[in-house]
């Protein structure tokens, strides 16, 4: 169908859309990569968990909890198995503690991921079919808008249908449809028909407010997928309040959403952006931080994402005078017999630079390796990511700060290179760019860890971040050093 961005829209809902806090609820976001924490603060992230761990978190009174599944880096079968196991553990923890888990499958705001497989697996694990699925990919801070049931991505001030972006050409999760009704049919291979998709239009959201949304959700037939339209956070807040009212009236809902939904459903307020000192100084504050911290060490930036936006940001960053050393990892070498040599060489050079107080960038070569099919592409991506992890894990010096660019990259570096099994989200340093404080059981407790999504930010934003952190570390960066 022809697509055009509407120019005439109803005025925003004028009333309150606050959803009162319910101590019996705990919002649990199953995050398919670490970037889903990009709207919250003072929230715990677990990268490993079991039923006992979840019971402790529920019993603590937490209103929001993130579980990092990293399922976008898994095969569909592995992702489904993880979701099913987690669904069972959440249901059991809820029964044991008397708290009701409000489960959100947090996924990519540009629609990549294992849908609908993960949703069905959660239902199997929880032992109960959801009456409705909510689909809400809106993420305002990243320029992802849903209007007229079409999902749009803002690129250089222009609204582009998501099906026409680089994300839609993803080797593993590619798709054609920008209209979310068509997208649901496409991704479900026709098992969910168009007639089963219900729209919460902007006319409904802005004209009727939370009560109208609640009525629509309560009136939708069992088995429906409810698409949420939102042009700004206020629209989404209205939709979330209405959906929440329907849930509290007894409707069992599973949500597949981007990051903004989690913040609003949890009742978490916005916070000002973090300063550089909040991140560079994180190692000296709490969580066991401070011990063994070398305040003369340099910071490290790791870039694995290959989306065009990241490529432009990397080009800008490599020209910054704050970068002392640039190390390129040849992706082809990482999947071949020379992988060990490449890893050892990169780790040696980076270790020297960081010990000398230089800020360094480690990045994979930009050429995308060819693959015969989506599963092969995913396996190659995993091997390249494993090489990056080995380099970071081999470093003996603790970086002053660490920035990881890309969802799978940031997840693998956090869990496998840094050994983070628990972290606290400090907030955001740029819109949509979260910062974690590594927990006490990690390799570098208290480390300020910036999780930079691959498809967020302008061309110079990554460079601006690194220069901000370099300044907070007490210098403007060393002189540029040749590779």
pLDDT digits (tens, 9 = 90+) for 379-393: 777 788 888 999 999
What is the C-alpha separation between 483 and 328, in angstroms, rounded? 9
DSSP secondary structure code for residue 36 in this structure: G
Q: Is the pLDDT of residue 322 over 60?
A: yes
What is the percentage of the chain residues whose pLDDT exceeds 90? Answer: 78
Q: Would you place residue 7 in the very low, low, confident or very high pLDDT band (cuts 50, 70, 90)?
A: confident
- pLDDT tens figures, 207-229: 999 999 999 999 999 999 999 99
Which range is least confidently modeled, 1-5, 23-27, 407-411, 473-477? 473-477
Q: Look at residue 257 and tell me whether its pLDDT is greater than 50.
A: yes
**Does residue 450 contact residue 403 with C-beta atoms inside 8 Å?**
yes
Instruction: Give the CA angle between residues 197, 202, 204 to the nearest 5°.
Output: 80
Phi, psi of 202 (to 5 degrees): -65, -30
Q: Which of 165-169, 278-282, 286-290, 399-403 shows the lowest per-residue confidence on average (mean pLDDT)?
A: 286-290
Which pTM was predicted? 0.90
What integer is the mean pLDDT of 387-407?
Answer: 94
pLDDT for the residue 448: 97
Give the list of residues 6+ apart from residue 426 with CB closer than 8 angstroms, or none.
41, 42, 274, 278, 279, 282, 434, 435, 436, 437, 448
Per-residue confidence (pLDDT) for residue 48, from 0 to 100 = 96
Select the more confidently predicted residue: 152 or 70.
152
pLDDT tens readout for residues 76-95? 999 999 999 999 999 999 99
If one compares 364 and 55, the residue with the highest pLDDT of the two is 55
The token duo for 257 is 């959403």
CA angle 233, 236, 238 (to 5 degrees): 110
pLDDT digits (tens, 9 = 90+) for 104-128: 999 999 999 999 999 999 999 999 9
Q: What is the mean pLDDT of residues 131-148?
A: 96
The beta-carbon contacts of 333-342 under 8 Å, at least 24 apart in sequence, are: 334/364, 334/383, 334/384, 334/386, 334/387, 334/388, 335/369, 335/380, 335/383, 335/384, 339/383, 339/387, 342/387
pLDDT value of position 479: 34
Query: Which pLDDT score, from 0 to 100, does residue 283 have?
Result: 52
Q: In the chain, what are the domains? A: 25-266 (3.40.50.10840), 276-472 (3.40.980.20)
- Beta-strand pair 433-438/448-452: antiparallel
State how far the alpha carbon of 293 is from the alpha carbons of 72, 166, 448, in Å: 33, 40, 12
φ, ψ at 2 (rounded to 5°): -70, 145
Q: For position 482, what pLDDT does the model report?
A: 25
Rounded to an integer, the average pLDDT of 116-143 is 97
Of the candidates 93, 97, 23, the residue with the CA atom closest to the CA atom of residue 64: 23
Hey, is 311 helix, strand or coil? helix
Asked if residue 2 has pLDDT above 70, the reply is: no
């Amino acid at each position: 169908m022809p697509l055009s961005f509407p120019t005439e829209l109803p005025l925003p809902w004028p009333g309150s859309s606050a959803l009162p806090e319910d101590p019996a609820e705990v919002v649990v976001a199953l995050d398919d990569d670490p970037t889903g924490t990009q709207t919250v603060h003072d929230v715990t992230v677990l990268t490993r968990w079991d039923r006992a761990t979840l019971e402790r978190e529920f019993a603590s009174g937490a209103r929001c909890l993130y579980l990092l599944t990293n399922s976008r880096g898994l095969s569909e079968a592995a992702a489904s198995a993880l979701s099913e196991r987690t669904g069972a553990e959440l249901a059991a923890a809820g029964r044991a503690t008397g708290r009701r888990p409000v489960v959100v499958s947090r996924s990519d705001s540009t629609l990549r991921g294992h849908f609908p497989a993960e949703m069905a697996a959660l239902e199997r694990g929880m032992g109960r079919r959801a009456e409705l699925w909510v689909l809400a990919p809106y993420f305002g801070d990243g320029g992802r808008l849903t209007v007229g049931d079409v999902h749009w991505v803002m690129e250089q001030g222009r609204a582009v249908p998501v099906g026409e972006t680089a994300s839609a050409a993803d080797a593993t999760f590619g798709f054609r449809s920008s209209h979310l009704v068509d997208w649901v049919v496409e991704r479900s291979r026709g098992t969910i028909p168009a007639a089963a998709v219900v729209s919460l239009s902007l006319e409904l959201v802005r004209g009727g407010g939370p009560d109208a949304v609640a009525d629509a959700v309560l009136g939708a037939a069992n088995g429906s997928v409810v698409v949420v339209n939102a042009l700004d956070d206020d629209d989404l807040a209205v939709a979330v309040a209405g959906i929440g009212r329907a849930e509290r009236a007894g409707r069992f809902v599973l949500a597949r959403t981007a990051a903004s939904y989690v913040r609003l459903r949890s009742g978490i307020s916005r916070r000002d952006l973090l300063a550089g000192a909040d991140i560079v100084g994180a190692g000296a504050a709490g969580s066991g931080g401070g011990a063994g911290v070398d305040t003369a060490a340099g910071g490290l930036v790791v870039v694995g994402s290959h989306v065009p936006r990241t490529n432009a940001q990397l080009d800008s960053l490599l020209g910054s005078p704050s970068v002392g050393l640039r190390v390129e990892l040849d992706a082809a070498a990482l999947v071949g017999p020379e992988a060990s040599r490449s890893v050892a060489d990169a780790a040696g050079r980076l270790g020297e630079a960081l010990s000398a107080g230089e800020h360094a960038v480690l990045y994979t070569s930009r050429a995308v390796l060819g693959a015969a099919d989506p599963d092969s592409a995913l396996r190659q991506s995993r091997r390249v990511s494993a090489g990056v992890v080995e380099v970071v894990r081999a470093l003996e010096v603790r970086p002053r700060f660490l920035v990881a660019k890309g969802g799978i990259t940031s997840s693998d570096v956090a869990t496998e290179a840094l050994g983070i099994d628990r972290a606290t989200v400090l907030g955001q340093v740029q819109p949509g760019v979260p910062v974690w404080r590594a927990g006490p059981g990690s390799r570098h407790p208290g480390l300020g860890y910036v999780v930079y999504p691959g498809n967020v930010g302008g061309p110079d934003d990554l460079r601006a971040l690194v220069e901000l952190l370099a300044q907070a570390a007490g210098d403007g960066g060393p002189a540029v050093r040749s590779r």
